[in-house]
A and B are shown apart, each in its own frame.
Chain A
């Protein structure tokens, strides 16, 4: 029998700690596949976040660090500047990146740091129990927006990809979705370009991945994917927002 599909070797055998239907596993797999395809495993350093993905180092076998809340891009800056031969990735959720770590993210992007951020946008704080995030949709019920997010109380969702794309430092900014095989293939293609931006020294790169959180959304995995398509993607459209010459 011909083997046509197998788990990447860098993707460890350890069972992940994510809830059923969560798309972290898909994101991890894409990263592992690309690190192997692009021969980056030996020089990769991944900065894992606080939150559900804090154990990411157990699932992807590279050198790694766990940053403080929101500080991944600052820590990654330190690693990359001190050791430019490393291939540096930050893996961050929406609370981590867009709330407490917004300053570190924006300034790393503005400086054009040669790092790549994988940004998991699932519209809430996952690990701490589903509180409101900067990406929570208007009207969305969370444990800290029990009446639904109201703009007059909590402002509006932050469109991270579009916002960072206005800066001159990033070489590649895109948003993809992990809700369907087609979109997953597109996400992998986007992340490949983001990695390329770092490898070619063109600037900062970020791929936002619209993701699910079935447990905190109180939905089945299938309902979560349907919600992404019906409610989330109209607000957070997928696409490439900044592609500098040389990345494409």
Chain B
């Protein structure tokens, strides 16, 4: 760990990606993450690395697809409507087994929506979004610091599993300033071109990057291989944080920005003598179902809070599996709930129990 800097989230994540070894960035501006491509456009040339502003999000994700096919550490960032345009590329990347990192600084939707922080892209990020049976690893940070730390993990996981890793941020984490400490620089001179990369065949047999297979049984095999990979990832890479859950009688749960606010709510409840705690998924795909199953035997009820209509709620319920009630509180359209508001929602459900 080195210097401690006060940085805006959207810039800090770019600096973290650079230190984590990002060699090339492709992107297209969209609020509230414009500081990210702007930062890359300044920093990448300084370090002899590359930055290209694409003509659209459709083009930028396909540029990412190309660069990823050469085994180069590549990243793009966008926000909700831009991410929608990238879904075609995500699906192709998913079935081509190439590694890359995508940051989604979520904003209010649907449609043009607004530029305020929201969490309504949970389904899109965790359930595919593009066509076909595919997944990406989805990391959901709740502070600027965690967003930076996860950037290193994002590249490593992407390469380990040859998969796309999404860092699911939002307008709040993108626009707020917080002190951050960066991990050490990745020594990019040690990054090797993988043997599957398409960079010209030289003296080996040719390599091919494709998501295509006309033979149904052949394509089924490709799909089965993907499912095997996803199973392995779910077994080995599922992450979550437990906050004051040791003796908890009530479990609050949420991801990203909301979970950060909920930590304050948990403290407020504890001050009133209510034994509440927080389960915070860090990987929202793969989702930590088991931890909910475990706590279903220990707590009286769960309260899930999200800045959407209850998209993660479905996964929480799958984990709890009907053993205990799962309540929900949500705000839409870029409204960020306060700790007090969540406290009130909790008291309401407590009264109803």
Contacts and interface: CB of A to CB of B under 8 A. Distances in A.
A75 B65 CA distance: 6
Interface string A49-86: 00000100100011111111001001111111111011
A12 to B, nearest CB: 10
Interface stretch (A25-33, A37-45, A187-195, A219-227): A37-45
A85 B201 CA distance: 12
Interface stretch (B8-16, B53-61, B162-170): B53-61
A229 interface: no
Contacts of A74: 54, 58-60, 62-63, 65-66
A158 interface: no
A81 B24 contact: yes
A86 B70 contact: yes
B198 A78 contact: no
B62 A65 contact: no
Interface stretch (B204-212, B233-241, B259-267): B204-212
A124 B52 CA distance: 33
A63 B56 contact: no
Given A71-B62, A75-B65, A78-B64, A86 B211 contact: no
B170 to A, nearest CB: 27
A75 B202 contact: no
Interface in B188-203: 198-203
A67 B55 CA distance: 17
A77 B127 CA distance: 29
B62 A79 contact: no
Interface in A75-99: 75-83, 85-87
Interface string A93-114: 0000000000110010001000
Among B54, B66, B88, B199, chain A packs the most CB atoms within 10 A around the CB of B66
Contact of A104 (B62, B72, B92, B206): B62
A85 B200 contact: yes
Interface string B208-227: 11111000000000000000
B200 A107 contact: no
B208 A107 contact: no
B198 A65 contact: yes
Contacts of A64: 198, 206-210
Contacts, number: 132
Interface in B59-101: 59-60, 62-70, 72, 74, 88-89, 92, 96
Contact of A79 (B55, B88, B198, B208): B198
Contacts of B207: 63-64
Contact of B70 (A54, A61, A79): A79
A57 B200 contact: no
B198 A63 contact: yes
A107 B59 contact: yes
Contact of B67 (A43, A79, A107): A79
B200 A63 contact: yes
B298 interface: no
Contacts of A83: 70, 72, 199
Contacts of B23: 82
B26 interface: yes
Contacts of A71: 58-59, 62, 65, 88-89
Among B60, B63, B68, B88, chain A packs the most CB atoms within 10 A around the CB of B63
Interface string B172-201: 000000000000000000000000001111
B74 A82 contact: yes
B82 to A, nearest CB: 15
A248 B56 CA distance: 34
A45 B209 CA distance: 10
Contacts of A67: 62, 65
A80 B200 CA distance: 11
Contacts of B331: none
B67 to A, nearest CB: 4
Nearest to A65: B209
A65 B68 CA distance: 11
A130 to B, nearest CB: 19
B199 A85 contact: yes
Contacts of B52: 77, 81, 111
7 contacts: A45-B200, A47-B66, A63-B201, A68-B89, A74-B54, A81-B63, A82-B24
Given A67-B65, A82-B70, A103-B55, 17 more contacts: A42-B203, A44-B200, A65-B96, A65-B210, A68-B65, A71-B89, A75-B62, A77-B59, A78-B62, A78-B64, A78-B65, A78-B74, A80-B66, A82-B67, A83-B72, A103-B59, A104-B55
